[in-house]
Amino acid sequence: MAAKLELVPLNDWGFFHLPPRPCVVAGPCSAESEEQVMETARGLKAIGINVFRAGIWKPRTHPGCFEGVGVPGLKWMSRVQKELGMKICTEVASEKHVFECLKHGVDMVWLGARTTANPFLVQEIAEALRDTDIPVLVKNPVNPDLDLWIGAFERLNAQGIKKLGAIHRGVSSASKIKYRNAPQWEMAVDLRYRYPDLPLFADPSHMGGKREYLYELSQRAMDLGLDGLMIESHCDPSCALSDAAQQLTPSAVIELLESLVVRDAATADEEFNDRLRELRAQIDVLDENLIFALASRMKVSRKIGSLKKDNCVAIVQPGRWDEVLEKVSSSAEGYGLDPDFIRRIFNLIHDASVAEQNK
Ligand code: PEP
Ligand code: MN
């Protein structure tokens, strides 16, 4: 059972102000040189962005790739903070990183996806941050495990860290997909449902992996009511030492932000609210019908289970299930439903029936 989190609202961090959405954190994947950091930060400041990110220690898939500039980069970031008045933030993956950040006056840190997946590291970082007041953003783990993500917030909160936010950056996928990391919007929405006061950001850059996908992913984040975006931006993206294909120039960042259509979560328009209530009432009835249909199906499934048992027949006949899947997916197509979605639902229903027949 997930614990309650004690949280400081986003507007009280002194970093962002809602509305309007999105709150934006932007900056290069990696700090590469003092010139690149300063030029990018100036470009972002000029378009009204106040929270600057840059990776100082970079987790790379292969050794020998550019692994970040380390501590000297923190000095360049302090210049951004002092000369441009921006808040500065970077990724920490160990207690050593935390101590260096604290020493250099970093305003906010984030935990990367690989770190969130490791409770030992999260615990070590949480303890190193104890008694500080700096906000911590936590990316989802590389695998789609909501509890592991929540566990990281619990560990940080247990050390007194209350300025917490989540960043959805997609998850690794074994199959080939168009994005670099598959969005798991349902996981982000589930997190919001469980912790409505936990600020929620999306990272369209690491999700998309390519500049061309950033707009659609950012728009989706806004449509789902997320509070903010973390966007990678570089003064000269094609020359970036890491993640060159997904970084935007500061002027492309403002172009993207200005093209987003951001709808309010609620409105005082009575006509709209009446129509919404009516449609929601219809959905409630349909959901009730779905539950009834599932319960009726389960009853029949139990009868099949005992019939098979009485006649010494195995519970699963694979051929039969393939037929069912074939039938429901072609029927789904007829109704304009995604057959893949229906297959996934029916596989879950089937698993539950088999478990019931096994009892
Ligand atoms: C990053 O933000 O630079 C980064 C490495 O992201 P992630 O942890 O999402 O891969
Ligand atoms: Mn990156």
* Alpha carbon nearest to ligand 1 atom 4, residue: 112
Pocket test for ligand 1, best of 60, 89, 91 (most atoms within 8 A of CB): 91
pLDDT, residue 284, reads: 86
Q: Is the confidence at residue 220, as pLDDT, over 90?
A: yes
Give the C-alpha separation, 244 to 236, whole Å.
9
Ligand sitting nearest the alpha carbon of 181:
1
Q: Is the confidence at residue 285, as pLDDT, over 90?
A: no
* Alpha carbon nearest to ligand 1 atom 1, residue: 29
Least trusted range by pLDDT, from 44-53, 106-115, 294-303: 294-303
| Residues whose beta carbons lie less than 5 angstroms from ion ligand 2 | 29, 243
- CA of 140 relative to ligand 2 center, distance in Å: 15
Question: Tokens standing for 145?
Answer: 């495990």
| CATH 1.20.1260.10 correct for 270-358 | no
Any idea how long the chain is?
359
- CA of 332 relative to ligand 1 center, distance in Å: 38
Pocket test for ligand 1, best of 121, 205, 206, 247 (most atoms within 8 A of CB): 206
Ligand sitting nearest the alpha carbon of 242:
2
* 270-358 shares the fold of 10-259: no
Pairing mode, if any, of strands 23-27 and 164-168? unpaired
C-alpha of 51 from chain center: 19
Cβ neighbour number for residue 33 with a 10 Å cutoff: 13
* Alpha carbon nearest to ligand 1 atom 3, residue: 29
Report yes or no: 171 and 144 within 8 Å, Cβ to Cβ: yes
Cβ neighbour number for residue 100 with a 10 Å cutoff: 19
Q: Parse the chain into domains and list their residue ranges.
A: 10-259, 270-358
Task: Give the number of the atom of ligand 1 that is nearest the alpha carbon of residue 115.
Answer: 8
Please provide residue 59's backbone torsions phi and psi, each rounded to the nearest 5 degrees. -80, 115
Least trusted range by pLDDT, from 206-210, 285-289, 346-350: 285-289
Give the C-alpha separation, 217 to 271, whole Å.
30
Least trusted range by pLDDT, from 122-131, 213-222, 279-288: 279-288
pLDDT, residue 1, reads: 60
The residues lining ligand 1, judged by C-beta closer than 6 Å to any ligand atom, are 29, 55, 59, 91, 112-113, 139, 169, 203, 206
Each residue's pLDDT tens digit, 238-259 = 999 999 999 999 999 999 999 9
pLDDT, residue 281, reads: 83
What is the average pLDDT across 52-72?
95
What is the average pLDDT across 49-70?
95
Each residue's pLDDT tens digit, 328-356 = 999 999 999 999 999 999 999 999 998 88
Pocket test for ligand 1, best of 66, 118, 168, 169 (most atoms within 8 A of CB): 169
Each residue's pLDDT tens digit, 75-94 = 999 999 999 999 999 999 99
* CATH domain 10-259 topology: TIM Barrel (3.20.20)
What is the average pLDDT across 7-26?
97
Q: Is the confidence at residue 163, as pLDDT, over 70?
A: yes
Pocket test for ligand 1, best of 60, 142, 203, 247 (most atoms within 8 A of CB): 203
- CA of 203 relative to ligand 1 center, distance in Å: 9
What is the average pLDDT across 44-69?
95
**What angle do helix axes 339-358 and 318-334 make, rounded to 10 degrees?**
140
Report yes or no: 52 and 46 within 8 Å, Cβ to Cβ: no
CA dist list (Å): 59 to 43, 82, 91, 93, 112? 26, 28, 10, 9, 9
Place of tokens 């061309």: 212
Give the C-alpha separation, 229 to 215, whole Å.
11
